Chains A and B, each alone.
Chain A
């Protein structure tokens, strides 16, 4: 627990330091990069919500009894895992208007990243659901619980424990993948770094800060994730 707090304090100190550094001679490029960081965080948070929702929907639907639902889920997973995220972002932003659907850059970025990672997350959710012992489902049937209650009260609470580590890793991957949203004209950390580098040629400083910003976000997720994991496995820990 203490090392987690130390790490959090260090990360926050670094970020505060960056904000303070905007008053030094770094002010020519730092504010633009911090604005980029805000965009990255916005896209990441919204895409992460979509990612979790899609993972559960597709992960549960892939083992559905109804053929149409199952095949839709399989098609979704294969298409979004089989093509590159960059291609998907391009398609959402430049091709979808041909079909009459015009998305803002933010919407296209969030949809692309969220749907892409949802397809990967679906397999994790599905694997975790399958890991719940069959007897649990049978016991729930014997107790005459409805199908919905069986899923939400018996199976998912036990599966969450299994899926948390994998989902947290994917969330970190998701934040890294948001670097691609510059393809749909969003100015995130990466794109801001490239722009500022072209203006001022302070390559080393700019990219070192970029790397550190991503590293910080990843560490925040790792710390939050391990706290979440503790929460979900709390009932397994011995009480003193």
Chain B
């Protein structure tokens, strides 16, 4: 094994640093889109109208039963055919967001259903309007289980962004592949990409745990 430090500092680190920005951008953008998308899917899925709820449920099943990579390729190749031409990064963000919004929808649903039915009844007995009941009574109580779960999905999305390298988005994995094929040296680039992911995941997992503890303290008080 020969690890070359000069190569690491002069070529690998600057280029991976640039690419890390795209990785973070893709992560944050897909996460925010997934949060909104999950809310929409959750509302549609729990709709009383079966014409809406049944197809949405089946669609979510299909999304969850197929690999994210296939969905990225699907959007990448199919969208141009129907006349929508988007840059690869946008297509990739859309695919990751769609996949994760089906997961977020389940998190929201589970969180809201975990609030005891008695809370609705008590709010009605106190003559609160349905809107007020929802925003002031139900949502605040459902947040503690929802937020840590969403934090875990943020970390999961972060680890899914390397898939974008398959459609030539210049994120960190793609950058290390390019360095590897330019210099025919994969060791430094791939190892540093791995360390980057490891450190970021460990730090963010710790952050999620801290938020979780903080929320639990507020609730128990």
Contact = CB atoms under 8 A, between A and B. Distances in A.
B190 A79 contact: no
Interface string A68-88: 000000000011011111111
Contact of A214 (B66, B173, B202): B66
A79 B198 contact: yes
Per DSSP, chain A at the interface is: helix
A179 interface: yes
B190 A87 contact: yes
Interface string A202-215: 01100100110011
A218 interface: yes
Given A83-B159, A86-B162, A190 B197 contact: no
Contacts of B81: 203-204
A158 interface: no
Contacts of B77: 197, 203, 207
A95 B65 contact: no
Contacts of B78: 203-204, 207
A32 to B, nearest CB: 16
Given A82-B201, A86-B163, A91-B190, 20 more contacts: A82-B198, A82-B205, A83-B201, A84-B173, A90-B177, A90-B186, A90-B193, A91-B194, A94-B186, A94-B187, A98-B186, A179-B67, A179-B68, A190-B69, A193-B70, A207-B73, A207-B74, A207-B77, A211-B62, A215-B62
Interface of B: 1-2, 62, 65-70, 73-74, 77-78, 81, 159-163, 165-166, 173, 176-177, 180, 186-187, 190-191, 193-194, 197-198, 201-202, 205
In the A-B complex, the 9 residue pairs with the smallest Cβ-Cβ separation, listed nearest first, are A179-B67, A94-B186, A176-B67, A82-B201, A86-B162, A82-B198, A179-B69, A83-B197, A84-B159
